Chain A
Amino acid sequence: MLSALIWIPIFCAAVIGLLPASVSSSRLRSLAIASISIVFAWSLYIATQFDVIDIGLQFQEDIPWLDSLGLTYRLGIDGLSLPLVILNNLLTIVALWCSDTSIQRPRLYYLLILIINSAVAGAFLAHNLLLFFLFYELELIPLYLLIGIWGGTRRGYAATKFLIYTAISGILILMSFLGLVWLSGSNTFEYNPLMSQGLPLTAQIILLGGILIGFGIKIPLFPFHTWLPDAHVEASTPISVLLAGVLLKLGTYGLIRFGLELFPQAWSVLAPWLAGWAVVSVLFGAFTAIAQTDMKKMVAYSSIGHMGFILLAVAAATPISLLGTVFQMVSHGLISGLLFVLVGVVYKTTGTRDINILQGLMTPERGLPIIGSLMVAGVMASAGIPGMTGFISEFLIFRGSFEVFPVQTLLSMVGTGLTAVYFLLLVNKVFFGRLPDALANLPRVSWSERLPGFGLALIIVILGLQPNWMVRWIETTTTAVINDFTTVAAHLPNPKTIDLPLTPAVSENPLPVRLN
C-alpha cells in the first residue's frame, strides 16, 4: 500500500523521461499533475483506512534488501507521517500547477519534481535508518538541479550553497546513525527507539548533537539558516513552494523521529538549551524579516521564525506541544505555500518583488485585488489570527510548552507579535496606497493562476475552524511518543560513572533523576 506512494511518481518520472521531445510542456504538466493526483487520492484513501486509535505503525511493509549492511526496505505510517505525506502530495500538485509552461527542458523539470515527491514520501515512510538516509539524500540532487537550472540570476551560488549545506547535514545525520548503531552493538539499522538506552549519556549527547545540527540545517535553525533565503530568492515559485512547504518539514520530522524518539535521555538533558535555541531562532527570524525588502526573503525568514516554534515545542515534549508541532508543520506548509504562490503571481505580473517599488496593488480592475485579498488572508493566517490553522498550531504549542518552559514560551510569543509587524508592512506597502503609473498596465491574472491560492486558503480556513479533522489522526501517535519519552527519560544513566566505552555498557542502577 505504502510503496505505491513512492513508486507511482518514480514510474511517471520514468515515463516522462522517455517521452519524445515533441510532447508539449503543458501536456507534460497535465501528466505530472494527473499522476500526483492519483498519489494524493491514494494517500487520502490510506487516511480513511488508517486506524486512529492504533499507536503502532500501520500498513507496514518489510522486504529484506542488504541484510549484511542492516538495510531493509521497511515502511510504515503513523500519525506523525500521515499528515506530512498528504501535505507533500498536495503541495506537489500546487507546485506543478504553478509551473510555467514556457520553461526550457520541461521533461527534466517535471521528472525532477516527481522524484522529489517520491523521495520525500519515502523519507516520511521509511523505518530503517539507512533507508531514511537514502531517501533524505535522494531529494537533494533534484532540488539542486531545479534551483541551479531554472533559478534566478545568482542560481549557481544559491544552488551550490544549498547543496553543500544539505550535504553536511546528511553527513552529520549519517555519522550519528552509524555511531548509534555501532556503539549500541546492534547489527541492523532497524528503527528502534530503545537503541540508545544502553549508551552512556555523554555518547548519547554527542550523537544527538549530530542529529540536531544535521536537522537544524535542514529546518533551518539559526545560525545554520543562511542557505534558505538565498535558495528561496533564486528558486522559481513552484520550487519555493516545495522547499518551504515540504522539504523543511523533513528537518522537523527528523527532529521528532530521530532526536526525541531515539535519544530520550539525552534529549531531556538538552531540552532547556534547545528551548533557548528555539527562542533565539524565533526572534532572530522575526527581527531579520522586518528588515527585508524582498518579499520572498521576508517569507523565508518568517519560516525560520515559525520553525523555531517547533523546536520549542519538541523541547518541551508534552502531549499537547507535540500535537502542536505536527499541526504547525502542516499549517506552516499550507501557509507558506500560499504566500509563495501569491508572491509568485505578483512577481510574474509586475516583474519585481521589492516592497519599496511595489505599491497599490489592491486597486481594482488595474491592480491585483483578488491576489491582494488572498495575501491578506495568508498573512493573517501566518500571524496566527484565530479562524485559521496558524492560530491552532501556535496555541497548542504555547499551551503545551508553557508548563515546562514558561519564560521561553512567552519570549517566543513575542515572535508571533513580530510576525504581524513584518507581514503587515508587506501588505501595507505592496497592496495599499496608490497604484503608480509604472504598474498601471499589469497583465491580467487568470482564474487558473488564482485557483491554487483559493484552494490553499480554503483548506487553511477549514482546518482552522474544524481542527478535529486533523487532530484525530495525529493525537494517538504524539501521545504515545511522549509516553515512551517520559518513561525512558525518567531513567537517566549516571553520566559520571561511565566514560565513553566502546562496548555497550548498561548502568547497573540507573538513578531515578526526574527532570522538569
Chain B
Amino acid sequence: MHQFLINTSWWVPCYGLLAAILTLPWAVGLIRRTGPRPAAYLNILTTAIALIHGTFLFNAVWGQPPQYLEFQWLQAAGLDLSFALELSSISVGAMELVTGLSLLAQVYALGYLEKDWALARFFGLMGFFEAAMCGIALSDSLLLTYALLEVLTLSTYLLVGFWYAQPLVVTAARDAFLTKRVGDILLLMGVVALSTYSGSLNFSDLYQWAETAQPAPLVAALIGLSLIAGPTGKCAQFPLHLWLDEAMEGPNPASILRNSVVVGCGAFVLIKLQPIIVLSPVASGATIALGTMTAIGASLVSLAQIDIKRALSHSTSAYLGLVFIAVGVGWTDFAFILLFAHAIAKALLFMSIGSIIMTTTCQDLTEMGGLWKKMPATTGAFVVGSAGLIGLFPLGGFWALQRGIEDFWLVAPWLVAVILLVNGLTALSLTRVFRLVFLGEPQPKTRRAPEVPWTMAVPIVTLIVLTLLIPAILNELTLLPAFGLVNVPGVVLLVGSGLAGCVVGSLLKLNHTWTRPVQAPLRFLQDMLSYDFYIDRLYRVSVVWVVSSISRFSSWCDRYVIDGFVNLVGLASIFSGESLKYSVSGQYQAYMLTILIGVALLGAILTRSFW
C-alpha cells in the first residue's frame, strides 16, 4: 500500500489536468444543454480526489526519508532529460496546501461566479492552474519546474484575462504575462547554463555539483542572478512586481490562489534553488536586497491604495519579500513556515474581500463602510485573517515571524528591524482597510449588503477554523519552538510592532469623501505611494520605450534602408533598360560607333599589362 501510494503520486497533479481537459466540451460550447455547472462539479470532484489522495500520501511519507521517482523523458545526443519527483513531507505537504486551498477556492467560485456565462472555462483553467502548482511542489527536476512555471505563467495570463472584454483586464493580463516571462527567460538562461556545466538538471545532482564546483565568480553570479529572476517574477518582487497589483482585475477566486499559493510556488522554487544561489555572494546579496526593498516598499504602497484588492496584494509582495530575505540569508525554515502561515491567512483575507466585492459590486475602499453588522461571517474572516497574518500571539503569523526574528537576532539584527517594520506596516494597513470597510456609517453601496450564499460561506468558515488551528498544526508538525527557548525581547518587539501598527491605524484620520490630503508634502507622499512610486511610468520611459523605439527603428530600416536598396536596384535596372532602348535608333553609324568603343575598351583592358 505504501509503495503503491508512492508510485502513484504523479497522479495527483494529473487529476487537475484531466479535469481541465474533460471540461473542454463545456468550455468551447459543444455541450450547452446542461449549462456549465457539470464542468464545475467535475473539477471540484477531481480536486477533492487529489486532496484525499494527497492526504494518504502525506501519511505515507510523514517521518520517512525523501523518496524519489524518476521518469525518462528525452534521451538524445548525450543529453539526458528526465523528470524526477521528490516525495518528502515538505513537498507533499506543499501539494496538500495547494489542493486544499484550490478546493476551497473552487467551491467559493461556485458562488462567486454563479452568474458568469463562462463558468466552465474558469473551472478548466483552475484545474490547469492547480495541476501546474501540484507539479511544482513535487518536482525534483529543474527542467520540470521551469516548464511548470511557464505553464503557470500561461494559466495566470488566461485567468487574469478571464474577463477579456474589459480594457483594464487586457492590459493586466498582458503585463502579468510579459513580466513573468522576463523572469522566466532569465531563468531559462540559468537552466541552460546549469545544464551545460553540471550535466544534469535534477536538484539532487545539482546540489552535488554545487558542493564541488568552483565556477568563476562572474559565472556563479550570473547563474545565481538568473535563477533568482524566475522566482522574482513569480513572487512579484521588485523590479518585476507590478503585475500582481494589476492582476487584481481578474476574478477573485483565482486571486485567492494567486496571492497565497501561486506566489508561494515561486518562493518554493527559490528555496529549492538556494544551495546553488549561495555559490555566489552577489546572488545571495541580491536576494536579500530585492527582498528588503520589496518588503518595505510594498508595505508602504499598500497603505495608500484605494482598491481593496490591491491594498492586500501589495502586502503579499511584502511578505514574499521576507521569504526572499530568508532564502538570501539561508534560513529556509523561516521561509517555509512563513509561506505556510501567509498562504492560509492571505487566502482567508481574499475570501473575505471577495464576499465584499460580490455583495457591493465595488472594490473602492472610499465607497464602503459599516459592513460589520450586515456581514458577520465576512467581518470575522477579515479579522481572523489579519490576526493570522501579523504577529499576533498565538496565531500562525506570530510563530512564523518569531522564527525569523530568532534566526536573524544574532546574524543580522537589521533584518529583525525589517521584519518588525513590515509587521507594523501590515498591521497599520489592515487596520485602515478594516476601518474603512467595516466600521463607520454605511454608504450608498453598502446599505443593502446581505451575507454571502453558503457556497461562499462554507469555504470562508472552513478557512477561519483552519487559520485558528495553525498553531496546533505547527505543533503537530513539531515546528514550534520549545517554550523555554523563546527569545522574550524578540517576542515583545514583534507583538509591540503589531500593536503599534494597529494603534496608529485606529488613530489615523480617515475621511471617505476627501481622501487626498490638502497639504502639498503629504499629498505628494500619498500620491507617490498610491501610484507604486511611479515605477510603471519609469518602465514606460525606460524598458518599454527602448523596446518600442528599437522596434520602430528596425522596422524603418527594414522598409526604407534594406527594402529601399532592393527597390533601388530594381529601379536602376529598369531605368537603364528603359533609357538604353533609345539607343536603338536604326542608324548604322551609331551601332558601329558603339561596337568600336566597346572593342577599344576591351582591348585596353586586355592589354593593360603591356603598358
Tell me whether A and B are bound partners.
yes
Taking Cβ atoms with an 8 Å cutoff, the residues of A that contact B are 161, 164, 223, 225-226, 284, 287-292, 318-320, 322-323, 360, 362-364, 369-370, 373, 376, 380, 383, 385-387, 391-392, 395-396, 398-400, 402-403, 406, 409-410, 413-414, 416-418, 420-421, 424-425, 428, 431-435, 467-468, 471-472, 475, 478-479
Given contacts A364-B117, A399-B192, contact A387 B550 (CB under 8 A): no
A and B contact pairs by CB, cutoff 8 A, 26 listed: A225-B562, A226-B562, A226-B563, A292-B555, A323-B76, A364-B117, A364-B118, A370-B28, A373-B28, A376-B158, A383-B181, A386-B146, A386-B151, A395-B188, A399-B196, A400-B77, A413-B189, A424-B174, A424-B178, A425-B174, A428-B170, A432-B161, A432-B165, A435-B165, A475-B77, A479-B77
Nearest-CB residue, chain B, relative to A223: B562
C-alpha gap A241/B74 in the complex (Å): 29
C-alpha gap A152/B47 in the complex (Å): 52
In B59-115, the 8 Å CB interface with A consists of 73-74, 76-79
- Would B182 and A475 count as touching, CB distance under 8 A? no
- Would B181 and A319 count as touching, CB distance under 8 A? no
Nearest-CB residue, chain A, relative to B561: A223
Is residue B548 within 8 Å, beta carbon to beta carbon, of the partner chain? yes
- Would B554 and A288 count as touching, CB distance under 8 A? yes
User: Which B residues touch A395, using CB under 8 A?
Assistant: 188, 192
- Interface residue SS majority, chain A: helix
| A to B contact number (C-beta, < 8 Å) | 135
C-alpha gap A284/B173 in the complex (Å): 26
Chain B nearest CB from A303 CB (Å) reads: 14
Contact of B548 among A290, A360, A369 (CB under 8 A): A290
Chain A nearest CB from B189 CB (Å) reads: 6
Nearest-CB residue, chain A, relative to B164: A432
Chain A nearest CB from B322 CB (Å) reads: 29
Contact of B551 among A287, A420, A472 (CB under 8 A): A287
- Would B562 and A398 count as touching, CB distance under 8 A? no
Task: Flag B177-212 by CB within 8 Å of A: 1 or 0 each.
Answer: 110011001001100110110000000000000000
Nearest-CB residue, chain B, relative to A429: B170
User: Which A residues touch B76, using CB under 8 A?
Assistant: 320, 323, 396, 471-472, 475
- Would B188 and A398 count as touching, CB distance under 8 A? yes
Is residue B518 within 8 Å, beta carbon to beta carbon, of the partner chain? no
Nearest-CB residue, chain B, relative to A291: B555
User: Which B residues touch A391, using CB under 8 A?
Assistant: 147, 150
User: Which B residues touch A223, using CB under 8 A?
Assistant: 562
Chain B nearest CB from A104 CB (Å) reads: 28
C-alpha gap A289/B551 in the complex (Å): 8
Given contacts A226-B566, A399-B195, contact A320 B78 (CB under 8 A): yes
Is residue B558 within 8 Å, beta carbon to beta carbon, of the partner chain? yes
- Would B555 and A417 count as touching, CB distance under 8 A? no
- Would A320 and B151 count as touching, CB distance under 8 A? no
Given contacts A386-B150, A421-B178, contact A320 B79 (CB under 8 A): yes
User: Which B residues touch A432, using CB under 8 A?
Assistant: 161, 164-165, 169-170, 173
Is residue B520 within 8 Å, beta carbon to beta carbon, of the partner chain? no
Is residue B481 within 8 Å, beta carbon to beta carbon, of the partner chain? no
Interface contacts beyond A164-B570, A468-B73: sample of 20 additional A-B pairs, CB < 8 Å, sorted by A: A289-B551, A290-B548, A363-B165, A376-B158, A385-B150, A385-B151, A385-B154, A386-B151, A387-B147, A396-B79, A416-B185, A417-B182, A420-B177, A424-B174, A424-B177, A428-B170, A432-B161, A432-B164, A432-B169, A479-B77
Is residue B37 within 8 Å, beta carbon to beta carbon, of the partner chain? no
C-alpha gap A225/B520 in the complex (Å): 57
- Would B74 and A467 count as touching, CB distance under 8 A? yes
Contact of A471 among B74, B165, B177, B192 (CB under 8 A): B74
Contact of B193 among A164, A322, A402, A472 (CB under 8 A): A402
User: Which B residues touch A475, using CB under 8 A?
Assistant: 76-77
Is residue B29 within 8 Å, beta carbon to beta carbon, of the partner chain? yes
Is residue B167 within 8 Å, beta carbon to beta carbon, of the partner chain? yes
Chain A nearest CB from B173 CB (Å) reads: 7
- Would A323 and B158 count as touching, CB distance under 8 A? no
- Would A291 and B165 count as touching, CB distance under 8 A? no
User: Which B residues touch A370, using CB under 8 A?
Assistant: 28
- Would A402 and B74 count as touching, CB distance under 8 A? no
User: Which B residues touch A399, using CB under 8 A?
Assistant: 79, 192, 195-196
- Would A421 and B562 count as touching, CB distance under 8 A? no
Chain B nearest CB from A9 CB (Å) reads: 32
Chain B nearest CB from A425 CB (Å) reads: 8
Given contacts A319-B78, A424-B174, contact A362 B164 (CB under 8 A): yes
User: Which B residues touch A289, using CB under 8 A?
Assistant: 551
C-alpha gap A306/B605 in the complex (Å): 48
User: Which B residues touch A320, using CB under 8 A?
Assistant: 76-79
- Would B192 and A433 count as touching, CB distance under 8 A? no
User: Which A residues touch B146, using CB under 8 A?
Assistant: 386
Nearest-CB residue, chain A, relative to B118: A364
User: Which B residues touch A414, using CB under 8 A?
Assistant: 185
User: Which B residues touch A413, using CB under 8 A?
Assistant: 185, 188-189, 192
Is residue B547 within 8 Å, beta carbon to beta carbon, of the partner chain? yes
C-alpha gap A472/B76 in the complex (Å): 8
Nearest-CB residue, chain B, relative to A229: B558
User: Which B residues touch A410, using CB under 8 A?
Assistant: 189
Chain B nearest CB from A191 CB (Å) reads: 24
User: Which A residues touch B447, using CB under 8 A?
Assistant: none
C-alpha gap A406/B158 in the complex (Å): 34
Is residue B516 within 8 Å, beta carbon to beta carbon, of the partner chain? no
Given contacts A380-B154, A385-B151, A396-B79, contact A431 B562 (CB under 8 A): no
- Would A288 and B185 count as touching, CB distance under 8 A? no
Nearest-CB residue, chain B, relative to A409: B192
User: Which B residues touch A290, using CB under 8 A?
Assistant: 547-548, 551, 555
Nearest-CB residue, chain A, relative to B161: A432
Chain A nearest CB from B157 CB (Å) reads: 8
Contact of A420 among B117, B148, B181, B548 (CB under 8 A): B181
User: Which A residues touch B181, using CB under 8 A?
Assistant: 383, 417, 420
